[in-house]
Amino acid sequence: MSHVFPTYNRLDIELVSGKGTEVQDQNGTSYLDFISGIAVCNLGHSPSVVKEAVEKQMETLWHVSNLFTITKQEEAATLLASASGLDAVFFCNSGAEANEAAIKLAKKHTGKTKILTFKQSFHGRTFATMSATGQEKIHSGFGPLLPTFEYLPYNDEEKLSEVKDGDVAAIMLEVIQGEGGVNPGTLSFLRAVEAKCRELDALLIIDEVQTGAGRTGLPFAYQHYSLNPDIVTAAKGLGSGFPVGAMLGKKELIPSFSQGTHGSTFGGNPLAMVAAKATMETIFEEEFLKDVQHKSEYFMEQLTLKLQEYRIVQEVKGIGFMIGISFDKDVSDIIAELRHNGLLTLPAGAHVIRLLPPLTVTKGELDQALHILVHTIKQHQSAEVC
Ligand SMILES: *Cc1c(COP(=O)(O)O)cnc(C)c1O
């Protein structure tokens, strides 16, 4: 028997090596990886800048407690602050932990109890972040949940306008719902959420765990909408595979996270921080992000154009390299066929294929992926008619 709890629906493929966009399995079969460890390997697999930074740090000091000064943590925080316009950072090890910090800070700072989140959201698997997540299938069997959270329908300005409650500490949301189906928020909805926060004197928390670290062609996805969040959380892509989470906040919030209010043993340790620094120094460069924008615009255009003739395809959506293709049917068979044809993709809900290539993907690899997608969808559709 396996001695690992069966919490994941695993494939029996083991990926044993990877460089850039390409990975190889235990039998030597190569794939184009458009999963990137779920938006983690934004610089592709084994990026040499990160490898060199981590190797160098391994020669000197691996871990030191936050009882001591950690200059590399200050430097990583400065990179996040200048990319976001926010002022202070708390480092942890995952997306859920970053959201936990955000939830605690919002309650502490406002003295209020409720946090509004959205249906089809995903904020993590810890008790608080699971409670924040607006999906029944994720809550199932774990009740009663924390009473902190209430769920509103996403992209629904009317329901939002009905919120009058004075006890709201924060509204928390993803600007593109990732796990919930790659659903981009509309500009007017997101602006209305921000206005509602100001009206209620509540904080705006944006969960950029999946959309941050350059995934959408800007450091953070909220920047496409010119939003002004009080708190931003990030994780997945921050460390190129090294576990790094971060909660960023405005300077007004600094006194509320004073000594002794929050902490983490591993959060912000030197190894994690050099991985994060090397990753962010590369991704947050204007030239790098411009290149992501150009490549992703080309890819989205081509996808939309080439898939429009297929009846089973409903929509191509997303921003930058966070892309969803929605179908009128369950996509698990198509994902298996794509994999068989050499392209790794993942679902976002039952009807959406999600594409998260490394941001370093080449135009040649994008063309190859387009070819596999079109060919596979075409075959799938004609097989269905027979
Ligand atoms: C993945 C994800 C999380 C949870 O991150 P973990 O590192 O798995 O805890 C939270 N929010 C969003 C939007 C995510 O995509």
Using CA positions, which residue lies closest to atom 10 of ligand 1? 123
What pLDDT shows up at residue 166? 82
| Same domain? 148 vs 21 | no
Q: Report yes or no on 3 lying in a domain.
A: no
Backbone angles phi, psi at 200, to 5 degrees: -90, 0
Helices (H), the chain: 36-39, 48-60, 71-84, 95-110, 127-132, 136-139, 157-161, 187-200, 270-283, 286-307, 332-340, 363-385
Measured in whole angstroms, the distance separating CA 267 from the mean position of its chain's CA atoms is 19
Q: Which helix (H) or strand (E) holds 247?
A: strand 245-249
**Is 6 part of any domain?**
no
218 and 92 fall within a common domain: yes
Within a domain: residue 81?
A: yes
Residues 171 and 61 occupy one common structural domain: yes
- pLDDT at position 386: 59
Indicate if 236 and 294 belong to the same structural domain. Answer: no
Strand order in the sheet with 346-347: 313-319, 322-327, 352-355, 346-347
* 218 CA distance to ligand 1 middle (Å): 19
Please report, for residues 119, 156, 168, the alpha-carbon distance to residue 190 in angstroms, rounded to integers and kept in the order given. 15, 10, 17
pLDDT score recorded for residue 385: 64
- Give yes or no for a contact between 37 and 241, defined as CB atoms under 8 angstroms apart: yes
Residue 7 lies in a domain: no
Residue 89: domain span: 48-283
Residue 8 lies in a domain: no
If you measure from the C-alpha of residue 206 to the centroid of ligand 1, how many angstroms do you get, rounded to a whole number?
Answer: 12
Q: What is the distance of C-alpha 305 from the center of its chain?
A: 27
Residues 255 and 292 in one domain: no
User: Is the CB of 100 within 6 Å of ligand 1?
Assistant: no
Gap from CA of 179 to ligand 1 centroid (Å): 9
Distance in angstroms between the alpha carbons of the first and the last residue of the chain: 41
Task: Count Cβ atoms within 10 A of the Cβ of residue 249 and give its class: 0-12 exposed, 13-18 middle, 19 or more buried.
Answer: buried
Q: How far is the CA of 199 from the centre of ligand 1 (A)?
A: 28
Per-residue pLDDT tens over the stretch 364-386: 999 999 999 999 999 998 887 65
Same-domain status, 274 and 207: yes
Ligand 1 atom with minimal separation from the 126 CA:
9
Q: What is the CATH number of the domain that holds 154?
A: 3.40.640.10
Domain at 34, CATH number: 3.90.1150.10
Q: Does the C-beta of 211 come closer than 6 Å to ligand 1?
A: no
Same domain? 307 vs 256: no
Q: Whose CA is nearest to atom 11 of ligand 1?
A: 123
For residues 315 and 359, membership in a common domain is answered with yes
CB-ligand 1 contact for 124 (6 Å cutoff): yes
Q: Report strand pairing: 176-177 vs 183-184.
A: antiparallel
Q: Where a domain ends, among 233, 250, 283?
A: 283
Residue 178 CB–ligand 1 contact under 6 Å: yes
Residue 1 lies in a domain: no
Tell how far the Cα of 385 is from the centroid of ligand 1, in angstroms: 38
Question: In the listed set 283, 298, 324, which residue is the last one of a domain according to the structure?
Answer: 283
From the CB of 132, is ligand 1 less than 6 Å away? no
Cis peptide before 144 (omega within 30 of 0): yes
The residue written with tokens 């620094």 in the block is 277
Q: What is the total count of domains within the chain?
A: 2
Q: Residue 215: which of 359, 354, 86 has the closest Cα?
A: 359
Let me know whether 262 and 307 are in one domain.
Answer: no
User: Residue ranges of the chain with pLDDT lower than 70?
Assistant: 385-386
3-state secondary structure 153-197: CCCCHHHHHCCCCCCEEEEEECCEECCCCCEECCHHHHHHHHHHH
175 CB near ligand 1 (under 6 Å): no
Distance 255 CA to ligand 1 centre (A): 27
Ligand 1 atom, smallest distance to 121 CA: 13
Residue 377 maps to a domain = yes
Same domain, 61 and 82: yes
- State in Å: Cα 217 to ligand 1 middle: 19
pLDDT at 165: 79
126 and 165 inside one domain: yes
How many of the other CB atoms lie within 10 Å of CB of 258? 9
User: Who contacts 8 (Cβ-Cβ below 8 Å, separation ≥6)?
Assistant: none
- Is 76 within the bounds of a domain? yes
Same domain, yes or no: 361 and 260:
no
Cα 236 to middle of ligand 1, angstroms: 7
pTM of the full structure: 0.98
Is 96 touching ligand 1 by the criterion CB < 6 Å?
A: yes
**Which residue, of 283, 303, 321, is where some domain finishes?**
283
d(CA 363, CA 296): 10
